[in-house]
Chain A
Amino acid sequence: MRRELCAALVARAARPDLVFLTGDLGFGALEPLRDALGARFLNAGIAEQNMIGVAAALASEGLEPWTYTIAPFCYARAFEQIRNDVCLHRLPVRLLANGGGYAYGVMGPTHHALEDYGILSTLPSLRIFVPAFDTDVAAVVEAAGGDPGPAYVRLGRGEVPAGCTAPPYAPWRRLRAGRGPIVVAVGPMAGLAWSAFADGTEDGPEVWAVSELPLSMSPPPRAFVEALSGRTLCVVEEHVAQGGLGQSLATWCLEGGIAVAGFRPVAAAGYPSGTYGSQSFHRRESGLDPESLRQRLSA
């Protein structure tokens, strides 16, 4: 999604208050943005804590800062700056985090982001965006840029099943109708879940894509609520179960008195074999692949 991100920000570059800070990343992707912004494009160096503190101060002066780095270097390395400097002050800093989940694959676990939105969901006023498809990115940039509070954008690799067309961006989208279980997939997992059941019958699962969190800021739409009661709920996410959307939705169902027939979360399992590989390898180890999803719902 980096190319789409760059294009969306270049389109926004005419806004005089926009300032872009990168933690020394973006080579081979963000050069057009650098050229468009000139002095308002800053390479803040390999110093993410400082970058986010600086961005908070820029926002406090009415500027529109966007920070960019690999996801774990943002939410994990600079968590206290996000908590104290950005969120306690409710400052509109947009945190762009590349490589959600296992996206950095065989680069290894230091570069994976398996617990980002769970941790960040605990912070007040922070809206989290997880675009599902490449075509979502422009709308996400517009939404995050227009939000009066802080935002975290988890970027990954959009995957639209062959023969399908991604619907226009929305925080919650129904990708596939069906009378079977309700499958809720976070961000790019939506394409994977969609592909798993694209060829099924009307008795197959109903697949939803979620691209904004937490539920308190982006509650499920009425159509989802009406569809859910009495059906099995399966939440698919490239994120650990603890703090993930599965747990949030389970609590939300309990609080709302919504009785589901079953609950089958599928989440990132970490590194169960102790070995490393591509994003697809790690997804398979966690059951985050089409065949495993089909088995999970047929069991």
Chain B
Amino acid sequence: MARRGHTLRAETPPHGAVPAGLAPLAPGLLRLARWRLLAMHRTAGVGHVGGNLSALDAMMLVHHEMLADADRFVLSKGHAAGALYVTLWSRGLITDAELDSFHTDGTRLPGHPPARGLPGIRFGTGSLGHGLSLAGGLALAARLQGREGRVFCLTSDGEWQEGSTLEALIFCAHRRLSNLTILIDHNRLQGFGTTDEVASLDPIGRVLAGFSVEIREADGHDLPAMRRALAPGTDRPVVVVLHTVKGHGVPAIEGRLDSHYLPLTEEQVQAAILGDAVLGTGENA
């Protein structure tokens, strides 16, 4: 086990048991959630789907296998609200009919998670750079109250350009909030370019290893690898760099910058659901 923060691949500990009341995430359910996410975005005619697809696997894994009653989840990258809504739907906390209201007038499901009123969402987020402070506060609260419970915080990679995220990391590392696990959806694409083009922190795992945290890395679409990487930490916060693909599962938009904003076409959705890349417009369309 690493005692000083550094990038760690081979030494990732075995994952813990699934808490009581939770069940292992079935690949079929994950596939169903992806289809529901695509259908929801297609119905709403809105974009931001690329960063939802890159984060969905991790969000589903955490919610289905790791998030017991005492635990907390903070979606710092609020633009992945669709993935969160679908994840909560997959756990029975949001109805199917309500998903159809996504992005419509009078909805409880706006483009970024709302502040109040939805089960499973403790904080409204969307302005990047807020979630890690909130997660750190939750982790600190558990310590002060003598409670068990892990806190998971899912950030984007671009949001590490926000100074407040680094303020939060300094705080969490200094306080040795070992009940905190920070997930970085490292899909390498942000709003108007790649993270390397805009303001590179690459390799982000090695950069953050300078803080007193435990760095782990995993393929963000490989469930067994994520299970290992998301195992509880020891004496300091755990940062899990998830190597992901923006638009994962939709061949026409995978790894493409425009998936950050542009809505899907019907053909793209069908191609993804049918698994037929030929129907899609292809990588270079």
Task: Report which A residues bind B (CB closer than 8 A).
Answer: 19, 39-40, 42, 44-45, 47, 49-50, 52-58, 60-63, 80-81, 84-85, 88-90
Q: Which of B116-124, B232-240, B255-263, B266-274 contacts A (4 or more CB under 8 A)?
A: B116-124
Please judge, given known A-B contacts A40-B144, A61-B138, whether A50 and B167 are in contact too, CB under 8 Å: yes
CB-based contact A88/B124 at 8 Å: yes
Please judge, given known A-B contacts A45-B171, A84-B130, A88-B124, whether A50 and B136 are in contact too, CB under 8 Å: yes
Instruction: Write out the residue numbers on chain B whose beta carbons fall within 8 Å of the beta carbon of A84.
Output: 115, 124-125, 127, 130
Which residue on B lies nearest to A43, using beta carbons? B174
Q: CB of B133 within 8 A of chain A?
A: yes
Nearest 10 interchain pairs by C-beta? A57-B137, A53-B133, A54-B137, A61-B141, A47-B167, A50-B167, A88-B115, A49-B164, A50-B133, A57-B134
Please judge, given known A-B contacts A53-B133, A84-B130, whether A45 and B170 are in contact too, CB under 8 Å: yes
| Binary per-residue interface labels of chain B (97-136) against chain A in the complex, 1 for a CB within 8 Å, 0 otherwise | 0000000000000000001100000111101011001111
Q: CB of B208 within 8 A of chain A?
A: no
Picked from B122, B125, B127, B168, the residue with its CB within 8 Å of the CB of A60 is B122
Picked from A50, A63, A80, the residue with its CB within 8 Å of the CB of B141 is A63
Please judge, given known A-B contacts A85-B130, A89-B116, whether A53 and B137 are in contact too, CB under 8 Å: yes
Instruction: Write out the residue numbers on chain A whose beta carbons fall within 8 Å of the beta carbon of B124.
Output: 84, 88-89
CB-based contact A81/B144 at 8 Å: no
Which residue on B lies nearest to A44, using beta carbons? B171
Taking the nearest CB of chain A, how far is it from the CB of B16, in angstroms? 23
Q: Complex: how many Å from CA A100 to CA B277?
A: 63
Contacts between the two chains (Cβ within 8 Å), count: 94
CB-based contact A58/B141 at 8 Å: yes
Please judge, given known A-B contacts A50-B171, A89-B123, whether A19 and B144 are in contact too, CB under 8 Å: yes
CB-based contact B123/A50 at 8 Å: no
Q: Complex: how many Å from CA A84 to CA B114?
A: 10
Please judge, given known A-B contacts A81-B130, A84-B130, whether A53 and B144 are in contact too, CB under 8 Å: no
Instruction: Write out the residue numbers on chain B whose beta carbons fall within 8 Å of the beta carbon of A80.
Output: 127, 130
Instruction: Write out the residue numbers on chain B whose beta carbons fall within 8 Å of the beta carbon of A88.
Output: 115-116, 124
- Which secondary structure dominates chain B's binding surface? helix
Known A61-B138, A85-B134; further 9 A-B contacts with Cβ < 8 A: A47-B170, A47-B171, A50-B168, A53-B168, A54-B134, A54-B168, A57-B135, A81-B133, A89-B116
Taking the nearest CB of chain B, how far is it from the CB of A19, in angstroms? 7
- Which secondary structure dominates chain A's binding surface? helix
Which residue on A lies nearest to B147, using beta carbons? A61
The 19 listed contacts between A and B (C-beta, < 8 Å) are A45-B174, A47-B168, A47-B171, A50-B168, A50-B170, A50-B171, A52-B133, A56-B123, A56-B134, A56-B137, A60-B123, A61-B137, A61-B138, A61-B142, A61-B145, A63-B141, A80-B130, A84-B130, A85-B134
Q: Complex: how many Å from CA A85 to CA B115?
A: 8
CB-based contact A54/B133 at 8 Å: yes
Q: Complex: how many Å from CA A90 to CA B123?
A: 11
CB-based contact B127/A57 at 8 Å: no
Q: CB of B140 within 8 A of chain A?
A: yes
Q: Complex: how many Å from CA A50 to CA B129?
A: 9
Instruction: Write out the residue numbers on chain B whose beta carbons fall within 8 Å of the beta carbon of A19.
Output: 144
Q: Complex: how many Å from CA A106 to CA B141?
A: 39
Instruction: Write out the residue numbers on chain A whose beta carbons fall within 8 Å of the beta carbon of B129.
Output: 49
Instruction: Write out the residue numbers on chain B whose beta carbons fall within 8 Å of the beta carbon of A90.
Output: 116
CB-based contact B141/A53 at 8 Å: no
Taking the nearest CB of chain B, how far is it from the CB of A186, in angstroms? 30
Q: Complex: how many Å from CA A52 to CA B174?
A: 17
CB-based contact A53/B122 at 8 Å: no
Which residue on A lies nearest to B143, using beta carbons? A39
Instruction: Write out the residue numbers on chain B whose beta carbons fall within 8 Å of the beta carbon of A52.
Output: 133
Instruction: Write out the residue numbers on chain A whose beta carbons fall within 8 Å of the beta carbon of B130.
Output: 53, 80-81, 84-85
Q: Complex: how many Å from CA A81 to CA B131?
A: 10
Which residue on A lies nearest to B174, using beta carbons? A45
Q: Complex: how many Å from CA A181 to CA B199?
A: 59
Within 8 A of A (CB), among B160-193: 163-164, 167-168, 170-171, 174
Instruction: Write out the residue numbers on chain A whose beta carbons fall within 8 Å of the beta carbon of B136.
Output: 50, 53-54, 57
Which residue on B lies nearest to A39, using beta carbons? B144
CB-based contact A50/B164 at 8 Å: yes
A39, A50, A56, most chain B CB atoms within 10 A: A50
Instruction: Write out the residue numbers on chain A whose beta carbons fall within 8 Å of the beta carbon of B137.
Output: 53-58, 60-61
Taking the nearest CB of chain A, how far is it from the CB of B237, in angstroms? 14
Please judge, given known A-B contacts A53-B130, A53-B134, A88-B124, whether A58 and B167 are in contact too, CB under 8 Å: no
